[in-house]
Amino acid sequence: MIATVEPAAILISGRGSNMSSILDLAEAEGWLGAVQLVLSNRPAAAGLDLASGRGVATAVLDHRSFGRGNRAAFDAALAERLLAAKVRWVVLAGFMRILGSDFVSPFAGRILNIHPSLLPRHPGLHTHQRALDAGDSEHGCTVHLVDDTLDGGPILAQARVPVLPGDDADALAARVLVQEHLLYPAVVRSAVRGSLSRDFPAHSQREKTA
Ligand code: GRF
């Protein structure tokens, strides 16, 4: 049992398998109370039921209700919702929205994301197919701090998998997902314990390529 933990919200858009892996570790180790809220921008996200089934509060902020071209209004409403919930950490787990500075600024240095590639390789979508198309011999996932660039914030941790002969994008995605489910809960645990910078010192993506 961890004595004090810093409150977090997990943001999802879909199936929520990374969210579930975080809730699994949190429950096993006694820090589930740190997860104040699971919020989805899609009302039909399967992960919402998984979270409420674990007794975690859920909320929906539907981006479509803000209309086209009103990204900043959605970002501001999201920030307001999470500030009201007094969360310190924002954990993006398959949250399929690009967040602008209206959201990132109030939570600078406290937003985590998991991306299914070895950043800075393959930012954006379709990472597994792109790794195959590029002939990469290894692939993996990255947990990073979020800034207002696409998948460009400082890297905290990575896990690697081999690309095997005969792999298609689904096979590769499944191999990477196993590692996502191990890596992300460990980083989130450090964040809510207040030991993130000690356990996972951030380094910039530029240094990473050097
Ligand atoms: C994961 O592959 C994650 O790396 C990416 O989106 C996917 C979300 O899957 N950001 P899930 O909703 O956690 O199952």
As a whole number of angstroms, the distance between CA 175 and CA 171 comes to: 6
Q: Let me know: does 35 contact 6? Beta carbons within 8 Å.
A: no
Q: Give the pLDDT confidence of 66-86 residue by residue, as tens digits.
A: 988 788 999 999 999 999 999
Active site residue 115: yes
Amino acid found at 36: Q
pTM reported for the whole predicted model: 0.96
Residue 9: is its pLDDT beyond 90?
Answer: yes
Alpha carbon nearest to ligand 1 atom 1, residue = 94
Amino acid found at 105: S
* Domains (range + CATH), the chain: 8-206 (3.40.50.170)
Alpha carbon nearest to ligand 1 atom 3, residue = 94
Pick from 45-54, 172-181, 201-210: least confident: 201-210
Q: Over the range 23-54, which residues count as b (16 or more CB within 10 Å of their CB) and which as e?
A: bebbeeeebbebbbbbbbbbeebebbebbeeb
- Pocket perturbation via mutation, ligand 1, pick of 114, 172, 178 by most ligand atoms within 8 A of CB: 114
Residue 207: is its pLDDT beyond 80?
Answer: no
Alpha carbon nearest to ligand 1 atom 14, residue = 17
Provide residues with CB under 6 Å of ligand 1: 12, 14-19, 93-94, 114-116, 141, 177, 180
Could you tell me how many residues make up the chain? 210
- In DSSP notation, 158-179 reads EEEEEPPTT--HHHHHHHHHHH
CA torsion sign for 78, 82, 88, 94 is negative
Q: Give the pLDDT confidence of 97-143 residue by residue, as tens digits.
A: 989 988 999 999 999 999 999 999 999 999 999 999 999 999 999 99
